[in-house]
Amino acid sequence: MLRIGIAGIGFMGMVHYLSYQKLRGVKVTALCERDERRLTGDWRGIKGNFGPEGTQMDLAGVATYTELDAMLADQNVDAIDITLPPALHADIAVKALRAGKHVFCEKPMALTPADCQRMAKAAAAANKQLLIGHVLPYFPEYAWALKEIRSGKHGKLLGGSFKRVISDPAWLKNYWNPEIIGGPMLDLHVHDAHFIRLLFGMPLSVKTIGRTHNGLAAHWHTQFDYNSGEAGGADGPAVAATSGTIPQQGRPFLHGFEIHLERATLVFEFGILGGEGAYLCPPTLIDHRGKTTRPKLADGDPMHAFAAELKDVVRCLTKNETHPALGSELALDAIVLCQKQEESLAKGKIVKV
């Protein structure tokens, strides 16, 4: 039985807690949270943009702590699940690893590549696993795309375009603070940066144009260069992404992709308009004969994606296995890609990766 201690009981901490309840071979044995009311099980003030609202929870049998050091000293905890603000990820992960605990940390891994490297070095020194919660590959549309690409039946991967845009989350405190959350580049686009890295590897350079807010990328377009050298040869993939925020609140979420292979194109787009979520383009495969096929996918409830992700986390930590989508190396590379795009936008020129 894998015993989990969750650090931070906000919306994502609640999502992880509820997801663990549905899995075998794992138990949440401890919680750490500064808000003592939440340690009593009063989660009624917790809300997010998906999933259930917080309610009164029965935490019988779960040890509760207001200080991290106390939870790290608990011998009834094997791994720490970090669901705190990104600025705290690195320090807490390093401390947990040094205390002999495995770590599963929500994305983004950290706010800087240097902090990500510090986390990875601590994991290696402690001989413990460090997994990062990039859940996007577990969403049915992205899992479908990965399966089709990896099957090899559609030939070489030629490129793709990716989109992820939200209404400015003015309700979210510190969203535009580069030292706490880091704006939409590190909170939003990091999903697609990770997915692009998973599919195509690291590009040679990036060119980003767009607008800024509070010194951070606000809405932008990026071209990822794979067209020379070892990254892809002279005919490397053509990859682009659009991401960021819009000031209007009527479209709080939009994401999608168009992925090109030699003998197929995969397309999909989903958005929330006027409070209603719908496919603007349902997941569709266009084959080399011109035929279109719409796959039957699993339920798109995000809670199911998190449950699938945490199932893999439990398996990896229990059996000491690795996972291509959860490894810290890819998560670090995603932060590097985000940093390089910010740099390109600020300097107005191509930046080498």
CATH placement of domain 137-307+333-352: 3.30.360.10
Distances in Å between the Cα of 23 and the Cα atoms of 70, 127, 130, 291, 324 are: 26, 26, 20, 39, 21
Q: pLDDT value at position 170?
A: 83
CA distance 334 to 195: 8
Average of per-residue pLDDT across 94-115: 98
Q: What is the pLDDT of residues 76-87, one digit of tens each?
A: 999 999 999 999
Are 315 and 308 within 8 A, CB to CB? no
CA distance 314 to 298: 21
Q: Please say if the pLDDT value at position 297 is more than 70.
A: yes
Structure tokens at 70: 């106390």
Q: pLDDT value at position 232?
A: 46
Q: What is the rounded average pLDDT for all residues in the chain?
A: 94
Are 312 and 121 within 8 A, CB to CB? no
- For 58-104, the DSSP string reads --TT-EEESSHHHHHT-TT-SEEEE-S-HHHHHHHHHHHHHTT-EEE
Residue spans of the domains in the chain: they are: 2-133, 137-307+333-352
% of the chain beyond a pLDDT of 90: 88
Q: What is the pLDDT of residues 187-238, one digit of tens each?
A: 999 999 999 999 999 999 999 999 999 999 999 999 999 985 554 456 789 9
Average of per-residue pLDDT across 148-175: 94
Average of per-residue pLDDT across 237-247: 97
Give bridge partners of residue 238 from the DSSP assignment. Answer: 159, 225
- Main-chain dihedrals φ then ψ at residue 140, nearest 5 degrees: -55, -40
Q: Please say if the pLDDT value at position 3 is more than 50.
A: yes
Average of per-residue pLDDT across 3-7: 98
Please state which of the ranges 45-54, 90-99, 118-127, 246-255 shows the lowest mean pLDDT.
45-54
Q: pLDDT value at position 302?
A: 86
Identity of the amino acid at 58: D
CA distance 176 to 173: 8
CA distance 14 to 31: 11
CA distance 9 to 20: 14
CATH of 2-133, one of 1.20.810.10, 3.40.50.620, 3.10.129.10, 3.40.50.720: 3.40.50.720
- Main-chain dihedrals φ then ψ at residue 241, nearest 5 degrees: -145, 145
- Main-chain dihedrals φ then ψ at residue 38, nearest 5 degrees: -70, -25
* pLDDT classification of 148: cutoffs 50, 70, 90: very high
Q: Please say if the pLDDT value at position 269 is more than 90.
A: yes
Q: pLDDT value at position 228?
A: 57
Matching CATH topology for 2-133 and 137-307+333-352? no
CA distance 133 to 328: 9
Q: Which range, 43-47, 58-62, 71-75, 270-274, is most confident?
A: 71-75
Question: Which has more confidence, 6 or 299?
Answer: 6
